[in-house]
Amino acid sequence: MTTSEWGFDTLQVHAGAAPDPANGARATPIFATTSYVFDSVDQAAASFRLDDLEQHAYSRLSNPTSVVAEQRIAALEHGSAAVAVSSGQAATTLALLNLLRSGDHVVASDRVYGGTVLLLRERFAELGIDTTFVSDVNDPAEWRRATRPNTRAFFAESIGNPTGVVLDIETVAQVAHEHARVPLIVDNTLATPYLVRPLDHGADIVVHSTTKFLSGHGTAIGGVVVDGASFDFGAEPRRWPGFHTADPSHGEVGYWERFAKLGLAYALRLRTTVLRGYGPAPSPFNSFLLLQGLETLSLRVRQHVANAQAVAEFLDRHPQVTQVHYPGLDTSPHAALARRYLPRGAGAVVSFELAAGLARGRRFVEAVRLFSHLANIGDVRSLIIHPASTVSANLTEEQLRAGGIGPGLIRLSVGIEDVDDLLADLERGFEAVTTHVS
Ligand SMILES: Cc1ncc(COP(=O)(O)O)c(C=O)c1O
């Protein structure tokens, strides 16, 4: 049986790893080294010219611990290659900068993580890269209307954070390819490849904040970019100068001419120009923690989604709740897309609006005990936060409204504890809201 025939549970334990040839270590060691000794001057030169893709040179470019995590995530996402970076924010930044230059344009869903909105709207604008945000994420006409001649990427999340919009990946990919002639990048952080593999549905590139479910234990910031090797940067070479211009340090022809046949043009360019140039390399310690998390990904996600479904149904029935955002609920406007793209479960982020409004909602957040009040998702522990005053506080009122984030919205990331204990904890929150009514 070959690696490509292994099931998900086998891949998450074994893909990319082998016993260490030098000492037999079975778990992947943490290679705490910045650099690697070359056998000869010729070998060193071959490594820098990218003639030898196996030899490591410097840990800003690649590291043996991180490579195991990269190969494992590429296998789980059905990608051709992956590049690990220091954070999810770095993954989004580098995935886009590998395609864009000053004067280019991006079309993005506005139902994405607040930090991504900030990156596109503020930081990229400072670099001369404009973004048009699409509000009805699954309306192909909106994506078409937003496209300009200088558009070079579409960007969206498979499940939007925090309001659970499920992306119709096939429809948006079709507009990206046939109308805009650009790749579709999907942030698959909330779903994980266990719930959906965007590359199987037409996306070209996947990014993750591995900080969340992939690492899974709230211990390590990290990110990864996965290349589907599906987008043809050779069809219109003049639109993609970065893939067709010779890079003086790496040889006489561009990345597309050299590496497209290996399915590595996008990933290798990202590693050896963008990551090399901007520098957000992952720590091998964090890659080790990521590998530990990946080994139990499906087991954890099964419990996360079962608990999230129960929590969402409990909230949906609760008289003190006016609205629940969870695509696994039959009443969700995204239920049909969730059934199509997420048959194993609709993720573990559940957001809801309290009838009592924001002022009393604060008491709810402070009263719960099992749910930790902090700014993260995708931990084995259950988490709670009020986005409008914290993780999304950088957004204007208009941007919050556009992103579906009401002033009283509370976001839960449902963990893997006993679900009855979680429901009892939420009930404690509701009691605090009513007890303190003056
Ligand atoms: C969907 C999504 N993408 C990207 C990020 C950024 O990841 P990181 O915090 O690892 O930089 C986050 C962080 O919350 C996120 O929720």
Using an 8 Å Cβ cutoff, are 163 and 410 in contact? no
Percent of the chain at pLDDT exceeding 90: 87
Q: Please tell me whether the peptide bond between 387 and the residue prior to it is cis, using omega within 30 degrees of 0.
A: no
DSSP reduced 3-state for 191: coil
pLDDT digits (tens, 9 = 90+) for 140-175: 999 999 999 999 999 999 999 888 999 999 999 999
User: Is the full-model pTM beyond 0.75?
Assistant: yes
Distance from residue 113's CA to the centre of ligand 1 (Å): 7
With a 6 A CB cut-off, is 221 part of the ligand 1 pocket? yes
Separation in Å, CA 54 to CA 44, 67, 83, 84, 260: 12, 10, 14, 16, 18
Domain spans in the chain, listed from the N-terminal domain onward: 11-293, 297-435
pLDDT digits (tens, 9 = 90+) for 314-367: 999 999 999 999 999 999 999 999 999 999 999 999 999 998 877 788 899 999
With a 6 A CB cut-off, is 88 part of the ligand 1 pocket? yes
Q: Which fold would CATH assign to domain 297-435?
A: Aspartate Aminotransferase, domain 1 (3.90.1150)
CA 47 to chain centre: 30
- Name which residue sits closest to atom 15 of ligand 1, judged by CA: 113
With a 6 A CB cut-off, is 223 part of the ligand 1 pocket? yes
Per-position b or e across 125-155, b if 16+ CB within 10 A of its CB: eeeebbbbbbeebbebebbeebbeeebbbbb
Q: Residue 2 pLDDT > 70, yes or no?
A: no
pLDDT digits (tens, 9 = 90+) for 262-319: 999 999 999 999 999 999 999 999 999 999 999 999 999 999 999 999 999 999 999 9
Amino acid type, 122? E
Domain 11-293: top CATH class: alpha beta
- Name which residue sits closest to atom 16 of ligand 1, judged by CA: 113
With a 6 A CB cut-off, is 115 part of the ligand 1 pocket? yes
